Amino acid sequence: MPERPLNRRAWMKLGLAASGASALGLGGCEEESAPSGDASAAGDKSRANDLERWRAMKAEPYQVGDFGAMPGVCNLPGPEAKRNWPDPDKYRNVQRVPGMCQLCSTVCGIVGYVKDGRLIKIEGHPNDPNSRGHLCARGHAGLNHLYHPERLLYPLKRVGKRGEGKWKRISWDEALDEIAAKLRAVRESGRPEEFAFHQGRQRSKDILKRFLDAFGTKTQLSHRALCSGSRRAANLTYLWESDWDLNDVEHTKYILNFGSNAFEAHQGHVPFATRIQNGRFRNGAKLVTFDVRLSNTAGSSDEWFAPFPGTDGAIALGMAHAIVQAGRHDTEFLQQWTNVSIEELEEHLEPYTPEWAESVSGVPAADIARIALEFAAAAPACTTMCNRGSSAHINGYYNDRAIQLLNAIVGSVGKQGGWCWSPWSGLDPIVETPPMPPGAKTWSVLEDPPEFPLANVWRRMRVGEIIYLYLLQGRARLQAYMTYNLDSPLTWPEESLTQQVLCDESLIEFHVCINCFYNETAHYADIVLPWATYLERWDLDARGSYNLRPYVGVRKPMVEPLGEAKDVREFFPELAKRIGGGMEQWFQESVEEYMEQWASNVPVNPATGKGGLERLLEEGFWESDRQPYYEPYLRELSDDELSDSEVDPDSGVITKDGVGIGVMLQGKAVCGFATPSRKFEVRSLFVEKIGANADCSELIALSGVKASNRHANHQGHDVEIDAMPTWFQPVEHQRLADDELIMTSFKWNVHNHGRTMNLKWLAEIVHSNPAWLNPKTASAFGLQDGDWIEVTSYHSAEVEARNPHLTHGQAEPTSGRRVVASMRVPIVTMQGIHPRVIAMSNSCGHTQYTSVAQAKREAPAAEHLAGSNPSAYHDDDWRRNMWWEDPSGGDPARWRRNTGSGWNQNKLMPIAPDPVSGQQAFHDTVVTIKKVVPA
């Protein structure tokens, strides 16, 4: 780019004219004046000020040039980096700041190394009792997240059509004014439920709830049903007290894993995976995995079996049958602590023989029986584990009930090394939020769809995957929609339906998106607000700990937020003030005052004399010294608890004021389980009744747990739920034709579903997702490794039969199957997958979310400016070194393996909720494939 020849005089004239132009304003913040042209009094004064400044900073005045070595931020190998490595000064004078990772929901403790206002390294926090100083690859890549060059830095307002991608910067003031005006109008319309807040991963529950309750809407949507609804509903059916089993794998002797890829994808990821390995290598535990795919967990197991998809529950029932038949069950536990007799159980399990299980799963009956007896022999130090692999099915609720039943049969429930849980799913209750507004009382079909009976009775799990369809069907409307850390077009089933609804201003009138990056959801927003990363904001946080006792950790800003990014803690109070109408009264304190108040009950450490927030900021974490939550049902009730209580002579259940508090056990009053029968409820009358919309107030009172009857609007939506653990197979799986396969999804250890493909360290490791096929299957379809196929996916006949209101899409004239979509992808063949399965990972196929996520490269610059040092200007990664860019333009003939950004599997996935819990079935989709012949 040659410089244009211009004469000096012309430049001088422009410069001199501009020098005095007041319309230019000033860039910097200080008061200044243009040079007068004469170095007189004003200039001398100004220089004198400078000399004072230099003295004050004790710097050498008039130092010029290189100010010494600057600390490097993650310099990757390159000529400069290599020369300076290792850098002995890199961590000199760093400040170590505690925090908690949030690149997934495991929230591992971290320590940030901050130097000169910059975060230069993240490592695990050794004081985190749950993660114990371990981090996964994503945790380390938090630096990419914080300093990503394509982060959102300013509020943006849409100027073109929605979805057109045309924006302009606006100030926070303008943004908040516009949002407040819209929300005020919704509030004053008398239909506050038409403001929906839709969150992805969130770890700031208190402030979100505070804002929404103060506003008066209960329409808080989540992705829980896309994640763990069935497992939670199954656990709640047995326990009521907790929806989350915390398998005591570190102390176990036997782990029976039904489809969980715990080494890569579990919500308890690092803390759980490290304990599994401790259990195996320190305690000699055996790990047996059933998974349709040889995941990294399956590959690290002692034994791996690939069952037919969705048959985990059948295998578990087959095992239960084998154990009971062999008399290897725990009679004492079953008699004392479950609400079925052994005879009843035997009778119930009778049809579920290992041979029957083999007939549906393909796993040999002999192996099912052998493993069942090995499992029983290890009792009570044995546990099942499961997660999305078994629960993200149309029959997921029943799969997980059948799996958890095994623990009751062998008596490992609540035992050391067994199948445990705790009531502390988050922060230790010792910390109390400053006073909260009363809960909102609205109802919305989006938040509480009446067709899915267990979605909201114990916990508000909701049925996230149906919301866009319901909006399209006109079952609800949204005047205002606020999304937060959400990437629904990528992570929700039926991408094109999601996009269609998000784009339609008659269905969603106003959309504000809060995010760190411009993603596929932000693309359909009207206003985008730049969110502070988890490294730049405050929270108290914790999750269900595998130590089976509660704890508290802190997240605090390690560095100032970049640009104008802000956290909701900072701008919700301002927004509430602008909306007015009393909302503002719930946002009185500054963020730090609020945090101090919230953490004030953290006890004083006698060694340091520090307590509350001060202690957390110094130590990062505080863990309660309670005993682990083993066999909590044996705890004897105190005299205090027993005073004025009554004992039911038939059941032995102890109540006080009509509320269950315990049960009599061999003459002793113990607390038992927090269920209506105070037993581990193998038979659940509650689910049977609640499915039928019967009044369950009495059962709820007996449990003593906060649960609710279904809303009056559920009347007419009765669903049959079996009181006993049973199993069914979706009809389309029963009649799977020879040319049909079942598509399942999976996740890699270096990614979460929708929020890490923008991080270059991780994207370089995994950036694409060809479909996995067994070589036998490939050969039957005339395919070879590397070939391209067209995949066509179909809606579930089972879902349509159970929930006809979900039926949509075109039916094929010949087969009658309803098509979801077709997509072209390449295949990789490998033995490690069931022959009737085709698998694709999620996380890939971004159409937004930075150039890294889309593997878009920038051409290297050929020239440099005079005076520059081109050897120092090596761009390590951002755009110019992206070796995996795919220049083929989707042409199979030109595509090279391991290039590109992959394909969004959710184009193909239909909306398919479990009819009981509402969990999305990500692993059941029937597809056909055909070879794409390159032109």
Partner 1 sequence: MSDASSQANNDTRRAAHGLYALLSRLWLREPDQALLELLQHGDVAEACQAVAPELVAAAGQATCDDLAVDFCRIWLGPTDHLPPFQSVWEGGQFGGQAATSMQPYLAMSGYTPPLEFNTSMLDHLGVQLDWMRHWLEQFQGAQPEGAPEDFPATVQRAFFRKHLSWPHALLAQSESRADTSFYRAVVRLTRDFLARESRRLGLAEMEG
Rule CB under 6 A: which of 92-131 touch ligand SF4?
101, 103-104, 106-108
By beta-carbon proximity to partner 1, the closer residue of 471 and 514 is 514
By beta-carbon proximity to partner 1, the closer residue of 563 and 658 is 563
Q: For residue 41, state whether it binds partner 1 (rule: CB under 8 A).
A: no
Show the site string, 219-258: x = touches ligand SF4 by CB under 6 A, - = not: ----------------------------------------
By beta-carbon proximity to ligand SF4, the closer residue of 556 and 802 is 556
Q: Which of 96, 105, 126, 147 binds partner 1 (CB under 8 A)?
A: 147
Query: Could you write out the DSSP letters of every residue in 457-491?
Result: SSS----GGGHHHHHHTTS--BSEEEEES--HHHH
Nearest distance in Å: CB 906, partner 1: 20
For residue 112, give Cα distances in angstroms to 224, 756, 780: 30, 19, 53
Q: For residue 825, state whether it binds ligand SF4 (rule: CB under 6 A).
A: no
Nearest distance in Å: CB 143, partner 1: 8
Q: How far is the C-alpha of 20 from the C-alpha of 685, rounded, in Å? A: 84
Paired with 664 in beta bridges are: 669
Q: For residue 868, state whether it binds partner 1 (rule: CB under 8 A).
A: yes
By beta-carbon proximity to partner 1, the closer residue of 150 and 641 is 150
By beta-carbon proximity to ligand SF4, the closer residue of 104 and 409 is 104
Nearest distance in Å: CB 752, ligand SF4: 7
Size of site (CB under 6 A) for ligand SF4? 12
In the 8-state DSSP scheme, what is residue 24? G
Q: For residue 347, state whether it binds partner 1 (rule: CB under 8 A).
A: no
Q: For residue 139, state whether it binds ligand SF4 (rule: CB under 6 A).
A: yes
Helix axes 396-410, 365-378, angle to 10 degrees: 50
Q: For residue 934, state whether it binds partner 1 (rule: CB under 8 A).
A: no
In this structure, the strands spanning 195-199 and 286-290 are: unpaired
Q: How far is the C-alpha of 507 from the C-alpha of 494, rounded, in Å? A: 17
Q: How far is the C-alpha of 880 from the C-alpha of 365, rounded, in Å? A: 55
Show the site string, 156-175: x = touches partner 1 by CB under 8 A, - = not: x--x-----xxxxx------
Stretch that binds partner 1, among 243-251, 318-326, 844-852, 914-922 (CB under 8 A): 844-852
Amino acid letter, residue 402: A
Query: Could you write out the DSSP letters of every residue in 363-383?
Result: S-HHHHHHHHHHHHHHTTSEE
Q: Which of 79, 85, 87, 149 binds partner 1 (CB under 8 A)?
A: 149
State which of positions 280-319 bind ligand SF4 (CB under 6 A): none
Q: How far is the C-alpha of 245 from the C-alpha of 242, rounded, in Å? A: 8
Nearest distance in Å: CB 525, partner 1: 10
Stretch that binds partner 1, among 49-57, 324-332, 550-558, 648-656 (CB under 8 A): 49-57
Nearest distance in Å: CB 563, ligand SF4: 24
Place of tokens 């004897």: 636
By beta-carbon proximity to partner 1, the closer residue of 52 and 790 is 52
Q: Which long-range CB contacts under 8 A does 323-326 form with residues at least 24 apart?
A: 323/372, 323/373, 323/375, 323/376, 323/406, 323/409, 323/410, 324/349, 324/409, 326/369, 326/373, 326/376
Rounded to the nearest angstrom, the gap between the alpha carbon of residue 830 and the centroid of all alpha carbons in its chain is 29
The entry of partner 1, ligand SF4, none near residue 139 (CB within 5 to 8 angstroms by kind) is: ligand SF4
Show the site string, 564-593: x = touches partner 1 by CB under 8 A, - = not: x-----------------------------
Q: How far is the C-alpha of 82 from the C-alpha of 523, rounded, in Å? A: 40
Stretch that binds ligand SF4, among 134-142, 530-538, 687-695, 848-856 (CB under 6 A): 134-142
State which of positions 453-512 bind ligand SF4 (CB under 6 A): none
Nearest distance in Å: CB 123, ligand SF4: 10
Q: For residue 4, state whether it binds partner 1 (rule: CB under 8 A).
A: yes
Q: How far is the C-alpha of 475 from the C-alpha of 194, rounded, in Å? A: 12
Q: What share of the chain is helix, strand, coil (3-state, %, to 5)?
A: 30, 15, 50
Nearest distance in Å: CB 269, ligand SF4: 4
Q: For residue 879, state whether it binds partner 1 (rule: CB under 8 A).
A: yes
How many residues can be counted in the chain? 935
Q: How far is the C-alpha of 248 from the C-alpha of 140, rounded, in Å? A: 27
Q: For residue 91, state whether it binds partner 1 (rule: CB under 8 A).
A: no
State which of positions 255-274 bind ligand SF4 (CB under 6 A): 269-270
Q: Which of 848, 901, 904, 917 binds partner 1 (CB under 8 A)?
A: 848
By beta-carbon proximity to ligand SF4, the closer residue of 141 and 285 is 141
Q: How far is the C-alpha of 562 from the C-alpha of 517, rounded, in Å? A: 12
- Cβ atoms of 229 and 390 within 8 Å: the answer is no
Nearest distance in Å: CB 621, ligand SF4: 14
The SS3 assignment for 54 reads: helix
Residue 478 CB coordination number (10 Å): 23
By beta-carbon proximity to ligand SF4, the closer residue of 158 and 269 is 269
Tokens representing 925 are 């989709």
Residue 607 CB coordination number (10 Å): 6
By beta-carbon proximity to partner 1, the closer residue of 1 and 607 is 1
Nearest distance in Å: CB 102, ligand SF4: 7
Q: Which of 138, 683, 760, 857 binds ligand SF4 (CB under 6 A)?
A: 138
Q: Which residue is at the shortest CB distance from ligand SF4?
A: 139
By beta-carbon proximity to ligand SF4, the closer residue of 231 and 555 is 555
The entry of ligand SF4, partner 1, none near residue 580 (CB within 5 to 8 angstroms by kind) is: none
Stretch that binds partner 1, among 143-151, 328-336, 711-719, 836-844 (CB under 8 A): 143-151
Stretch that binds ligand SF4, among 88-96, 132-140, 149-157, 876-884 (CB under 6 A): 132-140
Q: For residue 884, state whether it binds partner 1 (rule: CB under 8 A).
A: no
In the 8-state DSSP scheme, what is residue 563? T
State which of positions 750-779 bind ligand SF4 (CB under 6 A): none
Please give, one letter per residue, the 3-state secondary structure of 394-418. CCHHHHHHHHHHHHHHHCCECCCCC
Query: Could you write out the DSSP letters of every residue in 829-857?
Result: E-SSB-TTEEEEESS---SSSHHHHTT--
For residue 124, give Cα distances in angstroms to 92, 137, 623: 19, 11, 17
State which of positions 500-559 bind partner 1 (CB under 8 A): 518, 522, 528, 559
By beta-carbon proximity to partner 1, the closer residue of 53 and 626 is 53
State which of positions 103-132 bind partner 1 (CB under 8 A): 116-119
By beta-carbon proximity to ligand SF4, the closer residue of 535 and 821 is 535
Kindly calculate the radius of gyration of the chain based on its CA atoms and give it in whole angstroms. Answer: 30
Q: Which of 762, 787, 759, 760 is nearest to 773 (CA)?
A: 787
Q: Which residues contact 636 (CB under 8 A, 6 or more apart)?
A: 668, 669, 670, 671
The entry of partner 1, ligand SF4, none near residue 214 (CB within 5 to 8 angstroms by kind) is: none
Place of tokens 């909302």: 583
By beta-carbon proximity to partner 1, the closer residue of 137 and 559 is 559
The SS3 assignment for 317 reads: helix
Q: For residue 554, state whether it binds ligand SF4 (rule: CB under 6 A).
A: no
By beta-carbon proximity to partner 1, the closer residue of 35 and 934 is 35
Q: How far is the C-alpha of 118 from the C-alpha of 589, rounded, in Å? A: 28
- Enumerate binding residues for ligand SF4 (CB under 6 A): 101, 103-104, 106-108, 135-136, 138-139, 269-270
